[in-house]
Amino acid sequence: MLSDGFHNVPAGKIAMVVTDLEMRVPQLRDVACPDGVRFEQINPDVAQYRDLFTRVGQDWLWFGRSVISEAALAEIITDPLVHIYTLTKDDNAEALLELDFRKNGECELAYFGVTAPLIGTGAGAYLMDRAIELAFLSGIDRFHLHTCSIDSPAALGFYRRSGFIPVRRSIEVADDPRLKHGYDRALAPHVPIIEG
């Protein structure tokens, strides 16, 4: 059990407050698809997936899919119980929606986000409606996700407005990907680099 008070995070690491959220009954906002945008399921190879993952998440230091081996990532994204979707604009994939049905009766919203050209267009709310529809069409009892304090400052509020309810909070400590995994040091200026 973590005691009250301050706890030092080692140099070269980042600490995140992780909030787990869930939805038990689908709640749709009926948001229209933005003009010039198309929703589609995709079957990317590892390179295509990593490109999209990076373009959507690098500003928020997403690293979970970047630090695993190509073989491990391929195993995940080719699993028939993992479904990947995007929003395309001008024939470019500009969003990542990854639904993980590998746990019976549940769906995890494993990754969700849009690239900079779609931020503020309503594309995120439209994509979330599709995520909720697809998750509950499969007959699940629980749709869940986690977000953290280094993600977009708008993320937690967006998930709550979408109908997800916070159910648990934890602290995650990990290697700072800007130091350990070659991420651009200018990324995520809201999370200062602490070097040893």
* Angstrom distance (rounded) from CA 50 to CA 52: 5
CB contact burial 2-28 (16+ within 10 A = b; e otherwise) = eeeeeeeeeeeebbbeebebbbeeeee
Closest Cα to residue 40, out of 110, 126, 164? 126
pLDDT for the residue 48 = 97
pLDDT for the residue 167 = 98
With 0.85 as the threshold, say if the pTM is over it: yes
pLDDT for the residue 2 = 76
pLDDT digits (tens, 9 = 90+) for 23-71: 999 999 999 999 999 999 999 999 999 999 999 999 999 999 999 999 9
pLDDT for the residue 108 = 98
Provide, rounded to the nearest whole percent, the portion of the chain with pLDDT above 90. 97
Average pLDDT over residues 137-141: 96
Percent of the chain that is helix, strand, coil (3-state, to 5): 25, 30, 45
Read off the tokens for 180.
């350990």
Q: Which amino acid is at 116?
A: A
pLDDT for the residue 72 = 98
- CA dihedral (56, 62, 63, 69) positive or negative: negative
Whether residue 102 contacts residue 14, with contact meaning beta carbons closer than 8 Å, is answered with no
- Given the structure tokens 């979707």, which residue do they identify? 85
Question: How far apart, in Å, are the Cα atoms of 72 and each of 47, 67, 123, 169, 194?
Answer: 13, 10, 30, 27, 30
pLDDT band at 1 (very low <50, low <70, confident <90, very high): confident
Domain boundaries defined on the chain: 15-170
User: 61: number of CA atoms within 13 Å, CB side?
Assistant: 28
Average pLDDT over residues 107-116: 97
pLDDT for the residue 104 = 96
pLDDT for the residue 91 = 94
Q: For domain 15-170, give its CATH number from 3.40.50.1240, 3.40.630.30, 3.40.720.10, 3.40.50.720.
A: 3.40.630.30
- Given the structure tokens 């009766």, which residue do they identify? 105
DSSP 8-state class, residue 191: S
pLDDT for the residue 196 = 79
Residue 77: pLDDT over 90: yes
* Angstrom distance (rounded) from CA 97 to CA 40: 10
Average pLDDT over residues 62-84: 96
